[in-house]
Structure 1
Amino acid sequence: MYYIGIDLGTSAVKLLLVDENGGIRNEVTREYPLEFPKSGWSQQAPEDWKKAVLEGIPALLSGFDASQVAGIGCGGQMHGLVVLDDRDQVIRPAILWNDGRTAVEVDYLNNEVGKERLSALTANIAFAGFTAPKLLWMRRNEPENFAKIAKIMLPKDYINYVLTGVHCCDYSDASGMLLLDVEHKLWSTEMLDICGVKPEQMPKLFESYEMVGTVRPELARSLGLSDHVQVVAGAGDNAAAAVGTGVVGEGGCNISLGTSGTLFISSKRFGVDPNNALHAFAHADGGWHLMGCMLSAASCNKWLCDDILKTTDYAAEQKDITAERLGRNHVYFLPYLMGERSPINDTNARGTFIGMTMDTTRSDLVQAVLEGVAFAIRDSFEVARSLGLDIPSSKLCGGGSRSPLWRTIFANVLGIPLELPKTEQGPGYGGAMLAMVGCGLFESVQAAADALVEVASVVEPDLELTARYEARYRQYRTIYPALKPVFARFL
């Protein structure tokens, strides 16, 4: 049998065809546009996701026996506000996870409702990318559209609705809406009231591996599928990526270097960072996790190379950054191109180079970007350590992990071994694994991870280089506090 894993990303959807032994038999990618209508705004048309998925599935199955597809699981970009009217039509473009328009609403939630109250209700405080502030923004700025809302969902839930006709959401993705009582896994009626939302406007909640329905018969026929293909609830992209790298159960860690960057720590027990610098979310395996999320990670390197240096040959830009240069760069970079979430929660923060001189080279800037992203992940890593969490090693996934140089920088900035999974397909592979569990191939997500996830290689830190990066990180830590009041005055 085959299982389809869907990775609904920010710039493209990637579809995987996975066999019952975990082998990837085919993959297809379909890109779609990203809109920036104003500075700091980020949105997409859900119809573009739908088109990409429905065109991608037949291409994925070309040359294969589509009748052997048993299940579909989706991992998707989190927090995006998707709103449907009473005819299930999309009301407005989805406001995405990296959108920064909700500063007023975040201030209201954190300072008037209060961080302590928010944390008690949802285990988290308000961040600009979360869904609840977007609802408040929509109610204040687009009251006519707000009045039309019949259903509220997240990006991958819209794809599940397209496939099954069911309005659903899983606990891991719902955790990032600031509308879920994460500990008890139910919608918070008080948070819904604060946002002016009725319970019937919210989707039904499921565990990530639970079946929500089967592909609608007429759609199945058009896609070449049988009429019994099961669709599981799926997960937020970071939880799905953690499943795909085997980070489930107690004490696992995964670092994802995609458009955003995350530090993901799994647990069988519910727990909250008392300072709310790390998010406390449900996990796709039925447990929970703590997560630090930076808004711009691999996208920083893409921005520098594509838009500034005018090249897409990322490897060529890194070839002059030799081993003896590591930990000795005089240039620093704050990777806050879209503001920042964890751990500083500052929508005013901006990307910044500092330390440039007349002898600064092109490769110095590239190195500063790679190191700045690693330092920013270290910020969340230090928060986790302050909570008494022991992180002796971590998995590493995402597009940025394909760079040997970046892997070396990360291992030494963090001072821990980094394990690279044999199958590096993150959310899509995790989605397929969740579908396997939902279809009964494995009795649990843990069992699926134990059977399918293998480590291909390990990047070990070097004691001397780790020491050099320790000194550089201490200097890096002084930059943002000094510039924070400057950022606030500029905006």
Structure 2
Amino acid sequence: MLYIGIDLGTSAVKLLLVDGAGKILKCVSRGYPIAFPRSGWAEQNPEDWLRETIAGILELTDGCDKAQIAGIGAGGQMHGLVALDKDDNVLRPAILWNDGRAAEETDYLNNAVGRETLSRLTGNIAFAGFTAPKLLWLERNEPALFGRVDKIMLPKDYINYKLTGVHCTDYSDASGTLLLDVEHRRWSREMLDICAVREEWLPRLFESFAAVGTLTPAMAGALGLSPGVKVAAGAGDNAAAAVGTGTVGSGRCNISVGTSGTVFISRGTFGPDKNNALHAFAHADGRFHLMGCMLSAASCNKWWMEDILRSAQYGSEQAPVTRDRLGCSHVYFLPYLMGERSPHNDPAARGALIGLSMDSTRADITQAVLEGVAFGLRDMLEAARAPDLRIERSKICGGGARSPLWKEIIANVLNLELECVETEEGPSYGGAILAAVACGEYRSVQEAAEKLVKVASIVKPDADIAARYDARYQVYRDIYPALKPLGKRL
């Protein structure tokens, strides 16, 4: 049988056609716009996602035996607020995961409601990107529109809703709303009351690998597929990427260098971070995970290359950064172009270049951008360190992981072995695996991941370079606290 895996990303939707043995038969990507109405705001039109997903499925399945397609599974950008009225109309552009407008609402939740209360109810504290602060912002700033809300969904759940007619979500994605009691896998009535949310607005909860339904007759007709095609609940993009890299079970790590950057650590049991620097979420394999998220990762390099240098020659720009330069530059970059989440939880944080001198070169800044993201990843790894949690190696995925130089920098900054998997499609491949499990091709997510995910190569740290980067990291970690008072003034 064949399976469609979807990655509903921030800049594009990527779709894979995968057979039961995990072989990728075809890949399609279709972009859509993102709007930044104000500094620190980020929005998208859910109808753009739907239009390009449908077009992508048609392109993906063109020429194949459509009768062989058994299931669809999606990973999607997390936290985005999609609000519909009673007639199924989108009420406003979706407020995205990297939107920082709800800073005041986040402070209210963390300080007035209280971090201890939030952690007790959900396992997490509030971050501006989470869905609950956005709902409070909507109630306070667009009350007439808030009064028309009939359904609340996350981005990939809007697609699933349109495919099946089922108002659904999965536990991994729901964990990032701050409305879920993560440990007990149920909506928190206390948090719904705090955020003035009616439970009937919220989707039904499923495990990521469960089938939520089948294609509606109308959608099946539009796609040219059987109405019996099953749709899996899917997962948040990071949980789906973890499935796609085999980061399931307990004590495994995956680093994603996409638009955002994440450190994802799978756990067999629920265990929130005592310092609340990391998120304690449900995993797509039915267990749990800890995750740190930096809001700008590969997007920092894209900004530097395309917006500042006006260049698309990523390899050429990185070529002067030779191995002997690693850990030796005196230029530092803070990657907070959209504020920051883990571990600082500061929407007002901004990017910075520090240490420039008359002899600083274009290559120095290119190197600093790559290193700044790597240092941000280390910040999250340091927050995760605990006596019962030893991380010595990690899988790596995302667009940034296609750069050999960047992988070498990350391996040495983190002093970890990085395992590169054969299939680097992350969330879309994880979505296809979840679809295969939902259709009974495999008995569990772990069984599927163990059979399908293969390590292609390993990047090992060099002791001397890692030591140089360790010294530089001690300087890097002092820069943000020194600049923090300027954040809101800027």
Q: TM-score normalised by the shorter chain: which range applies? A: over 0.9
2:151 aligned partner: 151
Runs in 1 of length 4+ with deviation above 3 angstroms? Answer: none
For residues 50 and 290 of structure 1, the distance between their equivalents in structure 2, rounded to whole angstroms, comes to 30
For residues 199 and 226 of structure 1, the distance between their equivalents in structure 2, rounded to whole angstroms, comes to 33
2:85 aligned partner: 85
1:472 aligned partner: 472
For residues 36 and 67 of structure 1, the distance between their equivalents in structure 2, rounded to whole angstroms, comes to 42
1:294-443 equivalences under 5 Å are 294-386=294-386, 388-443=388-443
For residues 351 and 10 of structure 1, the distance between their equivalents in structure 2, rounded to whole angstroms, comes to 20
1:475 counterpart letter in structure 2? V
2:60 aligned partner: 60
Task: Tell me if structure 2 keeps the 8 A contact 1:213–1:230.
Answer: yes
2:90 counterpart letter in structure 1? V
2:485 aligned partner: 485
Task: Tell me if structure 2 keeps the 8 A contact 1:273–1:387.
Answer: no
2:274 counterpart letter in structure 1? P
Secondary structure of the residue that 1:219 maps to in structure 2? helix
For residues 68 and 456 of structure 2, the distance between their equivalents in structure 1, rounded to whole angstroms, comes to 29
Deviation at 1:388, TM superposition (A): 4.0
Secondary structure of the residue that 1:478 maps to in structure 2? helix
Aligned Cα root-mean-square deviation (Å): 0.6
1:84-483 equivalences under 5 Å are 84-386=84-386, 388-483=388-483
Q: What is the percentage of aligned positions where both structures have the same residue?
A: 67
1:66 counterpart letter in structure 2? K
Secondary structure of the residue that 2:487 maps to in structure 1? helix
Deviation at 1:386, TM superposition (A): 3.9
Normalised by the size of structure 2, how large is the TM-score? 0.99
For residues 52 and 487 of structure 1, the distance between their equivalents in structure 2, rounded to whole angstroms, comes to 37
For residues 341 and 166 of structure 1, the distance between their equivalents in structure 2, rounded to whole angstroms, comes to 32
Secondary structure of the residue that 1:247 maps to in structure 2? coil
Structure 1 range deviating more: 54-63 or 294-303: 54-63
Deviation at 1:488, TM superposition (A): 2.8
Q: Deviations over 1:337-365 (max 9, x none)?
A: 00000001011110000000011100100
For residues 299 and 416 of structure 1, the distance between their equivalents in structure 2, rounded to whole angstroms, comes to 23
For residues 138 and 362 of structure 1, the distance between their equivalents in structure 2, rounded to whole angstroms, comes to 43
1:149 counterpart letter in structure 2? V
- Structure 2, unaligned stretches of length 5 or more? none
Secondary structure of the residue that 1:488 maps to in structure 2? coil
Q: Deviations over 1:394-443 (max 9, x none)?
A: 00000000000000000000111000010000000000000000000000
Deviation at 1:46, TM superposition (A): 0.1
For residues 444 and 90 of structure 1, the distance between their equivalents in structure 2, rounded to whole angstroms, comes to 35
1:315 counterpart letter in structure 2? G
Counterparts in 2 of 1:387 and 1:101: CA distance versus 1, 3 Å:
farther
Deviation at 1:391, TM superposition (A): 0.2
Task: Tell me if structure 2 keeps the 8 A contact 1:334–1:350.
Answer: yes
Secondary structure of the residue that 2:110 maps to in structure 1? helix
Task: Tell me if structure 2 keeps the 8 A contact 1:395–1:420.
Answer: yes
For residues 448 and 83 of structure 1, the distance between their equivalents in structure 2, rounded to whole angstroms, comes to 34
2:343 counterpart letter in structure 1? P
Secondary structure of the residue that 1:321 maps to in structure 2? coil
Deviation at 1:387, TM superposition (A): 5.7
For residues 302 and 222 of structure 2, the distance between their equivalents in structure 1, rounded to whole angstroms, comes to 37
Secondary structure of the residue that 2:396 maps to in structure 1? strand
Q: Deviations over 1:115-174 (max 9, x none)?
A: 000000000000010000000000000001100111101000000001001100000000
For residues 100 and 258 of structure 2, the distance between their equivalents in structure 1, rounded to whole angstroms, comes to 19
For residues 282 and 392 of structure 2, the distance between their equivalents in structure 1, rounded to whole angstroms, comes to 23
Normalised by the size of structure 1, how large is the TM-score? 0.99
Deviation at 1:33, TM superposition (A): 0.3
For residues 348 and 58 of structure 1, the distance between their equivalents in structure 2, rounded to whole angstroms, comes to 42
1:59 counterpart letter in structure 2? E
Matched pairs, number: 490
1:424 counterpart letter in structure 2? E
For residues 90 and 419 of structure 1, the distance between their equivalents in structure 2, rounded to whole angstroms, comes to 41
Counterparts in 2 of 1:108 and 1:387: CA distance versus 1, 3 Å:
farther
Deviation at 1:27, TM superposition (A): 0.7
1:261 counterpart letter in structure 2? G
2:13 aligned partner: 13
- Structure 1, unaligned stretches of length 5 or more? none
Secondary structure of the residue that 2:208 maps to in structure 1? coil
1:433 counterpart letter in structure 2? I
2:43 counterpart letter in structure 1? Q
Secondary structure of the residue that 2:356 maps to in structure 1? coil
1:50 counterpart letter in structure 2? L
Secondary structure of the residue that 1:489 maps to in structure 2? coil
Deviation at 1:487, TM superposition (A): 1.5
